[in-house]
Structure 1
């Protein structure tokens, strides 16, 4: 049996756990705010502490994974964030909660960059967006399962118990990962020559430092960072404010929060479809327009749906539009990860870390902005205005992203075609 399916299974479990742990606080939000006396503005700071540390540690953990390998880095960060997931359930005041959530975010910052290193080393280039779509789908499944798992635990045992349970699950994953996984196929005992041959041209550990000046002078990299900021500003709403919005902005009861699984379910399918479609479009149109096309369609559609959401109070239509917004963003997300691997080469972890840092910055701003906008206007709908605007900006930025330009390989900051580049079919 090939080893790649097992590697993919580990990544699927990782990202299901990641999003269950991450969404746990969103589901528990109304109960936590009531018990600990947290105002909307202070709750914005609670969610922001996660995104602040997530933003700060993305690039360092991505670069560390490039250098020493994702086996050790993922073991460390999953163990770290699982401990702080459990500690979230033990806090007695908002100040302790702020510290714990900052530490939790520092751990989770390593997940996506190091998973990208695993994909870049273990999977053929033609499957980059497809495999990214599969693991992103797993994260959505985790998000969809979170309310179904957490709400019953909360209703029976209280909100604290859910954090303790899911922290233990992460510790089990990290121990098993370290025991079995190896940083490259060449290091894996018993791997077949045929499987090695499929990835013989894949990047390994980099031989030099990351070309920061070249990367930050690249139009593609800057547009990619801007796009990530814009869509994650909106995306973070679903991870931090969704359940509070449904309860306080649309009068949902606690039992009705089970409906909040729908956006994640739609997002799971969209991630999987988007990854396959992005790779198929690359084969048909080449890397530049192959990646761009789905990005423009996804964020453009999400912008339209967000505008519609601000004008309805019907519970069913609200859930439907939330699902469509989330799904449209998820449709293009696999392509974003594909671009990072296309242009990153042996520095894929650092490139994805840069992208995710910018994305986390968008989430950080959103977490604060939402609380202050609600406090200032008294409306849980007012924040949808900047969300729609940023989705429109992100749509335009996709037109400046060129996945055929490899960071650091080009004279004058313009690169040669990436390894996924293929002739355009006539």
Structure 2
């Protein structure tokens, strides 16, 4: 797709800014528990294993709803589909304030995960509708940098609210932000004229899509990529407290740093992929080359856990997380490169559902390993599994005709 007018060209950056802000809010809601975990674990008497089960509740709902939200957004359209998702997860975030133990906390995490699953299929559909192929990785990097921005803001913001007013208010404040976003989104968003008027390509059903070589290969690749981010998102503040002996004030002061650095990976990864395409590399080859190089960067998790000081550990984690965001900028665009626009959310949702099961498994393994051993084998594992992602990706098909 090529924007037909200067107005359309300018408007697409407004649309991607909505996706950026939604992703930022998504991660604020998600990270509130991670920052508050040391306090809630003590108040609710949760062990590392119990906490991993609470995280599991989120991932279970997130996983199942990935397979539902993608096709639902393709059916309802970007405007309505995105609005329903953010309204759901914002309400669920506020409900966390009423938690009275691990069980109720797990239920509210389940509801949050069910709503948050729709963010990426909807955002990727915006990219597919508004941006040409050579700009999609950059656009994806821009909206996905909202995850880093949300993770940067969450530690100091949540720690401040928690220490000043109590953990309940932290969940309420971040939950309300989603409804503020919704008030601006609903009257503003529209699909570009080219998409509104184009003939929709018939899309195979979910099971037929999943049986295609692209979708199952892409799914298995995500199984060995996405859990890396889940680990840093859900466990990094706990790691700082348990292994590096940080208190809540120190967590609020330093836990955001790797997420700030990781934000650069979204932009650099998106730019690098587009640069390879402009140099003449075939689109999917450019995406996979970029992902492979950033997967190697994620091996920085290994020296992170072995570092003698907390400062060095945070620095190495920053490098590893930048590797993830750099790789994800290209991963997010692959479905749009291969499938028609009205199938993109479905394909990404199905693949994310598969990878979510991997995330759940790795989360339970993390809790068990931390409880019985230490964080060392966990960091080593998350430093190596992205290499499996890169290896699997090279089995993907190269063209829409092969994919469908």
Flag whether TM exceeds 0.5 (same fold).
yes
1:94 equivalenced with 2:102 (yes/no): yes
Match of 2:3? none
Instruction: Output the CA distance in 2 between the equivalents of 1:85 and 1:391.
Output: 31
Match of 1:330? 325
1:163 equivalenced with 2:158 (yes/no): no
Match of 1:230? 224
Match of 2:362? 366
1:83 equivalenced with 2:91 (yes/no): yes
Identify unmatched segments of 5+ residues in structure 2: 1-6
Match of 1:423? none
Q: What are the Cα deviations for residues 96-147 of structure 1, in whole angstroms up to 9, with x where unaligned?
A: 1111110110000111001111221122232111100000112211111111
Match of 2:61? 53
Cα drift, residue 311 of structure 1: 1.8
User: 2:216, 2:351 within 8 Å by CA — same for their partners in 1?
Assistant: no
User: 1:283, 1:290 within 8 Å by CA — same for their partners in 2?
Assistant: no
Cα drift, residue 209 of structure 1: 3.6
Secondary structure of the structure 1 residue equivalent to 2:399: coil
Structure 1 pair 118–373 and aligned structure 2 pair: CA distance change class (3 A): same
Match of 2:388? 393
Secondary structure of the structure 2 residue equivalent to 1:3: helix
- 1:244 corresponds to which of 233, 238, 248: 238
Higher helix share: 2
Structure 1 pair 274–135 and aligned structure 2 pair: CA distance change class (3 A): same
Q: What are the Cα deviations for residues 286-329 of structure 1, in whole angstroms up to 9, with x where unaligned?
A: 113211111111112212x1222232241111100111110011
Q: What are the Cα deviations for residues 337-391 of structure 1, in whole angstroms up to 9, with x where unaligned?
A: 11121112230001111222233223212221111111222x2323223323312
Match of 1:418? none
Match of 1:424? none
Match of 1:191? none
1:12 equivalenced with 2:20 (yes/no): yes
Structure 1 pair 174–200 and aligned structure 2 pair: CA distance change class (3 A): closer
Structure 1 pair 204–276 and aligned structure 2 pair: CA distance change class (3 A): farther
Instruction: Output the CA distance in 2 between the equivalents of 1:227 and 1:74.
Output: 26
Instruction: Output the CA distance in 2 between the equivalents of 1:179 and 1:206.
Output: 28
Structure 1 pair 239–108 and aligned structure 2 pair: CA distance change class (3 A): same
Instruction: Output the CA distance in 2 between the equivalents of 1:400 and 1:18.
Output: 32
Instruction: Output the CA distance in 1 between the equivalents of 2:263 and 2:199.
Output: 30
User: 1:210, 1:347 within 8 Å by CA — same for their partners in 2?
Assistant: no
Secondary structure of the structure 2 residue equivalent to 1:19: helix
User: 1:234, 1:366 within 8 Å by CA — same for their partners in 2?
Assistant: no
User: 1:240, 1:367 within 8 Å by CA — same for their partners in 2?
Assistant: no
Secondary structure of the structure 2 residue equivalent to 1:382: helix
Match of 1:299? 295
Instruction: Output the CA distance in 1 between the equivalents of 2:134 and 2:231.
Output: 32
Structure 1 pair 386–56 and aligned structure 2 pair: CA distance change class (3 A): same
- 2:161 corresponds to which of 123, 143, 153: 153
Cα drift, residue 23 of structure 1: 1.0
Match of 1:30? 38
Alignment length, in residue pairs?
A: 393
Q: Which moved more, 1:282-291 or 1:382-391?
A: 382-391
**RMSD of the TM alignment (CA)?**
1.9
Match of 1:105? 113
Instruction: Output the CA distance in 2 between the equivalents of 1:296 and 1:169.
Output: 36
1:65 equivalenced with 2:73 (yes/no): yes
Cα drift, residue 53 of structure 1: 0.5
- The equivalences for 1:181-196 within 5 A come to 181-182=189-190, 184-186=191-193
Instruction: Output the CA distance in 2 between the equivalents of 1:211 and 1:104.
Output: 24
Cα drift, residue 398 of structure 1: 3.0
Identify unmatched segments of 5+ residues in structure 1: 187-195, 416-426
Secondary structure of the structure 1 residue equivalent to 2:219: helix
1:339 equivalenced with 2:334 (yes/no): yes
Instruction: Output the CA distance in 1 between the equivalents of 2:338 and 2:222.
Output: 15
User: 1:121, 1:204 within 8 Å by CA — same for their partners in 2?
Assistant: no
- 1:172 corresponds to which of 180, 183, 188: 180
Secondary structure of the structure 1 residue equivalent to 2:376: coil
Match of 2:254? 259
